[in-house]
Structure 1
Amino acid sequence: MDKVKRPVFQRPKPDDFYMKLHREVEETVLKNDYFHKLNIAKAFLFVAMYFGFYACILLFGSNTALLFFFYILLGFTTIMLFINAFHDAAHGALFKKPKYNHAFMYVLELFGTNNWLWQKRHIGLHHPLPNVPDWDIDIKQSDIIRIFPNSTLLNAHKYQHIYMWFIYPLYTLNWLYLRDFKDFFGNKDNYVKQLTKIPTVEFYKLFAAKIFNLCYLLILPILLLPQPWYVILGAWFVYHFSASALGVIALVSTHVDEDAAFPIAPEDGKFQTTWAEHQMIVTKDFSADSTLANFIYGGFTHHVAHHLFPAVAHTYYPHITPIIKKYAKEYDLPYTCYPFTHAVRSHFRLLKNCGHPENILRTGEL
């Protein structure tokens, strides 16, 4: 693909809200080291849960009900470990020493994918340019779904609010066995390759991770358990359905509801907002007051705080969010928090709306 100019934002002024916000957060919330230690403890709790549930599959999997039960729990734990611990490590927010964060990121290889590629997608494109058409490939993943109003409209899209209920449960399977290969080997709209050249070693690591993941999650139970192979294969599919269901709630609740903004980069590549203002406009929280939701989803429930402070442990976010709300009100910037049920319903209303010619009011420059 041809090289295109990467969009940029305005420089903040001395009285910019983010300068004041950042100063207050530094002076109050971030001085408490307890939340950093809590984050590490939570990360290792999820690691222990992951290996514990996997061990239960091998120990108790001769019972079909328990086999499926522990595969389901393993699927849920996969997403919780990813969202809470790996996600923080990838942002340099889990440990204070970078080498420990880098080592922990190999959790993603345990799941069968590639942490180098994920970083390029998420940290290299999504965080700098969230909701910007073409650039934010965390949102634009496949032509089968139309979210950006400037994307090509296909006849099938008029039904996407229906068929995506059946496709979203396949999210992790698509990630592992389609999307990774598309980003590594494809060239169409490949913004990862615009950022950097993929190191040769990452190709080997990609295949090694997928083989290892299939060996311990599928082949080893088939070899060790007194179950028909198709029963274990079915449980493996249920594992992916469970992981996808939990993960998709986070994915659809923070950026892509029916009121979402999708600012198109100007021709000169210069937005009229600052980076922090952009984050406030395109990012939303969900179920931020729920202790259970915060435990399961970490920095995704307080997603505005995450986008403004990506290098800070998510256990600080419940204490940062009230400060964000205060400055959002002072500077007349949007802050939105929905219950996750509202956010999910709103996402499917977005899909229904985007299945028809776009509303011009939902696009344009910020």
Structure 2
Amino acid sequence: MISKTIVMLTVFFVPLVLINIGVVTVPWLLFALYIISGIGMAGIGMGIMHDANHGSYSKNRKVNKYLGYTMNLIGANANVWKIQHNVLHHSYTNIEGADDDINAPFFLRFSPHAKKNSIHRFQHLYVWFFYGLSTVSWVTAKDFLRLFRYRKMGFLNKKNQFRDELIKMASWKLLYYSYALILPLIMVPLAPWMIILAFISMHFVTGLLISIIFQVAHIMPSTEFPLPDKDGIVEGDWFAHQLATTTNFAPKSKFFSWLIGGLNYQIEHHLLPNICHIHYKRISGIVADTAKEYGMPYHTKRTFAAAIMAHIGVLRKLGKMQPIPVR
């Protein structure tokens, strides 16, 4: 974890340093450095902050807390993410209206229970563009919108907690935009529109990588989209729910698994989110055997490409099928 942390932080920050010291004078180098930084940004998100904000990077809470702030360094907000991911996604995986990962804008449909629009029949073609733009939206507006929405949902209800979080969020984002965009606009002797486009390309790489990794783990042909009954109760226990709504992929690819923070073992992560991802491969056999022993599902795709193709198939199906009524 320490070596991965050093590598990912280096891949993210070194290109930005080179951009900000004014050595970049040609467009291709500017785009190349920003794109490399985007890969590092995705690595920080999947391989450092994800474990830290789950409390699984280290046994030391302070280490987890401070490394969790690496998310703030890449423009997002750790505290808002903990609500969105740790609470809403992990507690209510694939439940319409509760899991924020499948709550999509009107032009995307990730659940068979969501409202269907005519444009959805093409979503398997255009979703990749919006996956790419997802982190640009995230670091600009979405964090603020979620902060206000989560307050209405009953989170951030301690005295001055919302106000303090709003100030800290704005401050972190100002810091991020200062070194990721404002300084390059000052230091790089190229047209401002080109620098902004290169900055967006960095985020496009990050958004595409992160969105695909997380979405193919849950929006798949084999995964379920359970609904609560009229009393708000979901059938089955929480562990069975995680097995029914989650899919692994590319379990034999060691480098790929290292690169994406073990998130190809999403089942193990959802069942045991407080365990560091470096252990997922070793415990996956135990989880698979136990699921088989008790007749429970253990969904997995042999390769990442197979997972993407299956995900495309689900998006296509969701674009055509009528909504399944919510009870």
- The counterpart of 2:83, out of the listed 120, 132, 137, is 120
State which drifts further: 241-250 or 41-50.
41-50
Q: Displacement, 1:196?
A: 4.2
- Is 1:350 the counterpart of 2:310? The answer is no
Query: C-alpha separation between the residues in 2 aligned to 1:235 and 1:55?
Result: 15
- The equivalent of 1:36 in structure 2 is none
- The counterpart of 1:89, out of the listed 52, 73, 82, is 52
- The equivalent of 2:253 in structure 1 is 290
- Is 1:103 the counterpart of 2:66? The answer is yes
Query: C-alpha separation between the residues in 2 aligned to 1:249 and 1:344?
Result: 8
Contact 2:109 2:115 in 1 (8 A): yes
Aligned to 1:259, the other structure's residue is in SS state: coil
- The equivalent of 1:8 in structure 2 is none
- Is 1:72 the counterpart of 2:32? The answer is no
- The equivalent of 1:148 in structure 2 is 111
Query: C-alpha separation between the residues in 1 aligned to 2:309 and 2:154?
Result: 35
Query: C-alpha separation between the residues in 1 aligned to 2:152 and 2:215?
Result: 22
Contact 2:95 2:227 in 1 (8 A): yes
State which drifts further: 142-151 or 79-88.
142-151
- The counterpart of 2:153, out of the listed 193, 196, 200, is 193
Number of corresponding residues: 322
Query: C-alpha separation between the residues in 1 aligned to 2:319 and 2:121?
Result: 4
State which drifts further: 275-284 or 207-216.
207-216
- Is 1:47 the counterpart of 2:9? The answer is yes
Aligned to 2:57, the other structure's residue is in SS state: coil
Q: Which has the higher contact order (CA 8 A, sep 6+)?
A: 1
- Is 1:57 the counterpart of 2:9? The answer is no
Contact 1:250 1:300 in 2 (8 A): yes
Query: C-alpha separation between the residues in 1 aligned to 2:320 and 2:193?
Result: 41
Seen in structure 2, the aligned counterparts of structure 1 residues 364 and 304 have a Cα distance that, compared at 3 Å, is: farther
Contact 1:80 1:297 in 2 (8 A): yes
Contact 2:31 2:198 in 1 (8 A): yes
Query: C-alpha separation between the residues in 2 aligned to 1:132 and 1:65?
Result: 44
Q: Displacement, 1:101?
A: 0.8
Equivalent residues in 2 for 1:134-145, closer than 5 Å: 134-145=97-108
Letter matched to residue 327 of structure 1: T
Equivalent residues in 2 for 1:1-366, closer than 5 Å: 39-59=1-21, 60-186=23-149, 193-197=153-157, 199-338=162-301, 339-358=303-322
Aligned to 1:299, the other structure's residue is in SS state: coil
Query: C-alpha separation between the residues in 2 aligned to 1:140 and 1:334?
Result: 25
Query: C-alpha separation between the residues in 2 aligned to 1:222 and 1:136?
Result: 38
Contact 2:116 2:323 in 1 (8 A): no
Query: C-alpha separation between the residues in 2 aligned to 1:304 and 1:65?
Result: 40
- The equivalent of 1:35 in structure 2 is none
- Could you report, residue by residue, the CA deviation over 1:181-240 in whole angstroms, capped at 9, with x for unpaired residues? 321235xxx587244436211111222222222211111012112222222112111111
Letter matched to residue 261 of structure 2: G
State which drifts further: 109-118 or 204-213.
204-213
State which drifts further: 274-283 or 147-156.
147-156
Aligned to 1:248, the other structure's residue is in SS state: helix
State which drifts further: 310-319 or 252-261.
252-261
Letter matched to residue 103 of structure 1: Y
- The equivalent of 1:7 in structure 2 is none
Contact 2:11 2:36 in 1 (8 A): no
The unaligned stretches of length 5 or more in structure 2 are none
- Could you report, residue by residue, the CA deviation over 1:68-124 in whole angstroms, capped at 9, with x for unpaired residues? 111101001101111011000001011211122111111121112211110011111
Q: Displacement, 1:364?
A: 8.2
Seen in structure 2, the aligned counterparts of structure 1 residues 193 and 359 have a Cα distance that, compared at 3 Å, is: closer
Letter matched to residue 242 of structure 1: V
Contact 2:44 2:71 in 1 (8 A): no
Contact 1:121 1:192 in 2 (8 A): no
- Could you report, residue by residue, the CA deviation over 1:106-164 in whole angstroms, capped at 9, with x for unpaired residues? 11211122111100111111111111111111221323211111111122222222221
Task: Please give the TM-score of this superposition, normalised by the length of structure 2.
Answer: 0.92
Query: C-alpha separation between the residues in 1 aligned to 2:216 and 2:130?
Result: 17
Aligned to 2:122, the other structure's residue is in SS state: helix
Task: Please give the TM-score of this superposition, normalised by the length of structure 1.
Answer: 0.83
Aligned to 1:69, the other structure's residue is in SS state: helix
State which drifts further: 141-150 or 330-339.
141-150
